[in-house]
């Protein structure tokens, strides 16, 4: 961070995009894989953000874009560790946004759907299969993800253009969904959540006292 600012001047925007995906049935996946996933996707992103927070706060300006995923707002079988890490970064980013707002610093999470990157290709860590009971559920998911890699609907160049529009905004949102799949799947989850809340409201309210 110091080298960057010494060489190029004050940083205005930080985009925390480093991360990778872990794929594997939860029961089959070693805890060490979870620790590694969180270390990169959560601890790494927070560490970089924390390096810049003092500078942004002192200058009373700055923009932090933490790249999460639609997997930070919905869950899918086979990527428990990945979704968990993105949910964690989503939550931390919300707190970061509230804490930095008084100093004129914006924080937004970027929540992409499926894009034509290497996420599902060579950069993905895949746990080997070991329990036959999960074959019917998971093997088709793994095969479909491999087949789709490189052919996703999302265009990375259009995502970059959207990010430029975002950071030029005076009133950026707490999170920005990118991709029609992200919009559809997250909207579906929100509707399901509303129904769950309503169905169990009486039990939820019964605990006051």
Query: For this structure, is 81 an active site residue?
Result: no
Are 37 and 79 in contact by the 8 Å Cβ rule? The answer is no
**Cα 143 off chain centre by:** 23
Classify the C-alpha dihedral 23-29-33-39 as positive or negative: positive
DSSP code at position 175: E
Burial-class residue 127 by CB neighbours within 10 Å (0-12, 13-18, 19+): middle
126: enclosing H helix or E strand = strand 125-126
Catalytic residue among 20, 81, 82, 134: 82
Residue 129 burial (CB count, 10 A):
14
- For the annotated catalytic residues, the residue numbers are 82
């Amino acid at each position: 961070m110091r080298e960057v600012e010494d060489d190029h001047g004050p940083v205005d925007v930080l985009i925390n995009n480093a991360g990778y995906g872990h794929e594997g049935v939860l029961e089959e996946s070693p805890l060490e894989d979870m620790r590694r996933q969180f270390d990169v996707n959560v601890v790494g992103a927070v560490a970089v953000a924390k390096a810049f927070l003092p500078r942004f706060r002192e200058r009373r300006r700055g923009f932090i874009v933490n790249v999460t995923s639609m997997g930070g707002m919905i869950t899918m079988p086979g990527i428990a560790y990945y979704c968990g890490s993105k949910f964690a970064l989503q939550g931390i980013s919300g707190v970061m946004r509230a804490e930095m707002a008084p100093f004129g610093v914006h924080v937004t999470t970027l929540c992409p759907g499926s894009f034509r990157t290497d996420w599902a290709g060579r950069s993905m860590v895949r746990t080997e299969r070991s329990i036959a009971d999960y074959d019917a559920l998971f093997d088709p998911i793994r095969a479909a993800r491999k087949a789709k890699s490189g052919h996703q609907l999302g265009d990375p160049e259009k995502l970059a253009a959207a990010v430029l529009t975002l950071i030029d905004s005076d009133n950026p949102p707490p999170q920005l969904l990118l991709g029609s799949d992200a919009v559809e799947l997250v909207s579906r989850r929100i509707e399901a959540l509303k129904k769950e809340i309503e169905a169990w409201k009486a039990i939820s309210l019964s605990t006051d006292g």
